[in-house]
Amino acid sequence: MTFNDQLRTTICITIIALSMPVAVFAQPGQQELRREEITDKPVAFNSEVDESGEFTWWLPAGAGEYVLPISAGVVVDASRPDLMRWLREGSPWSLLELPVLGLRFDNETIVVIVPWPHYAELIVQDRIGIRYSFPKGRHLATPCNIVAMRRGNDPLETALAFREWRLSATDTGAIPVPRSLKKKMEDLEKAKRLPGAPHFYLWGPALFSKHDIPRNKWVLFAKSLRDAAPESFGGKLAALLPEDQRRDLQELAAAEWPMDYLTGSLAGAIDVVLSGNDLLNLPPDVPAADVIRRNQQALATAFGSYVNPPESWGDGLSMPLLDSLHDAGIDRALLLLSDLYGRSFRPDVVTHAEKLGFLIGPYDSYHSVHSPTAGPDNTWETAQFDATAYQQGRVINADGSGYGGFKGRGFHFSPKAAWPYVQNRVGGIVQQVPYSAWFIDCDATAECFDDFSPEHSAAKSEDTRLRRQRLAWLKTEHKMVVGSEGGSVLFADVIHFGHGVHTPYIGHLSPSFKDTKSPHFLGRFYPPDRPDQSFTPVTIPPSLKTPYFDPTVRIPLYQAAVGDELIATHHWSFDSLKLTDVEKTRELLEILYMVPPMYHLNRETWPRRRERVLRHLAFWGPLHRELATAPLKRFACLSEDRLVQRTTFQHADGEVAITVNFGETTQAGYAPNSATVSGSIAVPQPIYDAKP
């Protein structure tokens, strides 16, 4: 069915459903949805949008609480001025991740679904509204209909009604029909490794790191490299180092003891040289993985008295780290590289990961396209393609200008124009490295664009379709376990995991995150092998604790609606150990909602984080293996202060309940800061104590 056919079908259905009148506000482009017009069966309400491209559905007034798809789910008490102020100041809110919300009135909940959320936003004034904003000339790009129904007062009514509607509706708009994680695992054997797997991001050089020379030999190595004859291998290696690293080499060779900033800098520069053909004057047609292998062997031969065996080289992406994880008892994990590593192929390490039972893949992106001549400080690996992509592939605004890319650099990349580059990049890499997983940044956030380019014109819905296509292609063509930033329901059927749902990116919500003098400063993107941004713990600004990390406001809306379709966790900017003052709360939420923990690692930081990680995984891992594919059916607060909460999952063998006490005192028979499991499955450890 084409998009136009879908549009005509949707309009026909909504016209039939609208047997009841809809009150119209005095202002044009606004309609009011009244409680008396809503039945216990889903009814679609539709209205025309004029050339202005603006239209708002105002939802029934007087609700006592709002269940909203913000930060995976919040329940907002309408009588709390602080929460209502937060809603109004943050409005409008995107509906792209989960386009459903609930309005609670005494003993009933009004559930509202937005089947075509591309141009829709949640706005808050004296009441809640859904506002559509279309670009000029595209006011009919998608229907602006909503679906509403009456439900009871169960805390999860909003999520459960959404699930039922997706299964029974003849037309779900842009929202795909459910495709369960269980079905995805049946279709792709390696996806069965996801349940119970923590998510690790691996950092540091892949070809040569500061760990690959014993500490007591670094100065001797530096002296030998500095003094190597120009025509020797060492002389060629030294000559290929950038000027700054040649100075570091001189300083290190003259030092009494190897300083980390010097060994890290020099190792990083050697890592880059080992990926190139110039070191051994190799022909350009030699495969990249073979170039790396030959260069590493030559370095090991020339400096064998100083360096460790080459098979052990590398930092995060290395056999020593993988072996250390496995020896610690971690028999499954999702390992993602911190970048594409497109010039640092390690097929030996990736093959070893496969033998250990780990999933492993690169961090890829096609969201931005940069000039091929951009300096290294103004671009990044995944945004580099060629001059044609940069000139002709950029998304074009209605005024003819290019749509600026992430952080204002380059331009956003049309998915239609990007498609041949996707095929070329992925195909070229997997020919040399047997990855089992692939992560594409940004796509499943559903941040899509209106493109007015004559060559690749697209409305947001078409942009979405093209992004879905490339994610699905990774699975069907390359048999990958596929992940992306976000976890929008618009993409839930084509990805296996998503990053950025349960802790979204909130780094832009407080100036203190960027203030170098603040205790909340997220940190620099330095040093390259262990950037402060990813590894240095900070505290959360007080203004953001509620609602983002307040369990009394959170509700498992997303997890109950789609949690058994994909595995969703945090944004990588806020891994499980990043925020120290809410660490216990997040740990308990991971258990209560069955959300994978996420950790940044390299060889230096793993020993420091090992005990903390293993303690959590010993409890969470066996549970998640059983419940990753189980629907979350019920949610309840067992104490008046809402600090004792219970989720109930529908396992194949019966119900499983997880009860968490987020408080500092014993309540309802549950110890403070604890999680308790009961029900139909046997677990090694029924009670967990979240220690500081």
Mean pLDDT of 531-539: 97
Locate 153 and state its tokens.
């007062």
Residue with tokens 């050339």: 51
Exposure of 306 in the CB half-sphere (CA atoms within 13 A):
17
Query: End-to-end CA distance of the chain, in Å?
Result: 55
pLDDT at 25: 52
Distance CA 683, CA 692 (A): 24
Helix (H, G, I), strand (E, B) or coil at 140: coil
> For residue range 174-200, what is the model confidence (pLDDT) as tens digits?
999 999 999 999 999 999 999 999 999
Determine contact, residues 636/646, Cβ cutoff 8 Å: yes
pTM: 0.94
As beta bridge partners, residue 108 has 105
Nearest residue to 44 (alpha-carbon basis) of 139, 92, 114: 114
Among 9-23, 211-225, 362-376, which is the least confidently predicted range?
Answer: 9-23
More confident site: 20 or 538? 538
Determine contact, residues 426/434, Cβ cutoff 8 Å: no
**What is the pLDDT confidence band of residue 21, given thresholds at 50, 70 and 90?**
very low
Give the helix ranges, DSSP H, for 479-605: 532-535, 542-548, 557-562, 583-593
Q: What is the DSSP letter of 523?
A: -
Q: Residue 134: what are its φ and ψ, rounded to 5°?
A: -100, 150
More confident site: 73 or 6? 73
The percentage of residues in the chain with a pLDDT greater than 70, rounded to a whole number, is 96
As beta bridge partners, residue 660 has 645, 675
> For residue range 199-258, what is the model confidence (pLDDT) as tens digits?
999 999 999 999 999 999 999 999 999 999 999 999 999 999 999 999 999 999 999 999
Q: What angle do CA 20, 25, 28 make, to 5 degrees?
A: 110
> For residue range 97-134, what is the model confidence (pLDDT) as tens digits?
999 999 999 999 999 999 999 999 999 998 999 999 99
Cβ-in-10-Å burial (0-12, 13-18, 19+) of 650 comes to: middle
Nearest residue to 213 (alpha-carbon basis) of 291, 280, 310, 295: 310
The percentage of residues in the chain with a pLDDT greater than 90, rounded to a whole number, is 94
Q: What is the DSSP letter of 403?
A: -
Helix (H, G, I), strand (E, B) or coil at 513: helix
Mean pLDDT of 595-608: 98
> For residue range 140-169, what is the model confidence (pLDDT) as tens digits?
999 999 999 999 999 999 999 999 999 999
The rounded Cα 18 to chain-centroid distance in angstroms is: 39
CB atoms within 10 A of CB 230: 9
Determine contact, residues 252/307, Cβ cutoff 8 Å: no
Mean pLDDT of 538-547: 96
Locate 532 and state its tokens.
């402060």
**What is the pLDDT confidence band of residue 487, given thresholds at 50, 70 and 90?**
very high
What CATH number does the domain located at 183-204+317-367+413-689 have? 3.20.20
> For residue range 612-627, what is the model confidence (pLDDT) as tens digits?
999 999 999 999 999 9
Q: Is the pLDDT score of 1 beyond 60?
A: no
> For residue range 340-355, what is the model confidence (pLDDT) as tens digits?
999 999 999 999 999 9
Per-domain boundaries in the chain: 3-175, 183-204+317-367+413-689, 210-312, 368-412
The rounded mean pLDDT for the chain is 95
Distance CA 44, CA 111 (A): 12
> For residue range 249-304, what is the model confidence (pLDDT) as tens digits?
999 999 999 999 999 999 999 999 999 999 999 999 999 999 999 999 999 999 99
Cβ-in-10-Å burial (0-12, 13-18, 19+) of 223 comes to: middle
Distance CA 55, CA 49 (A): 6
Mean pLDDT of 512-536: 96
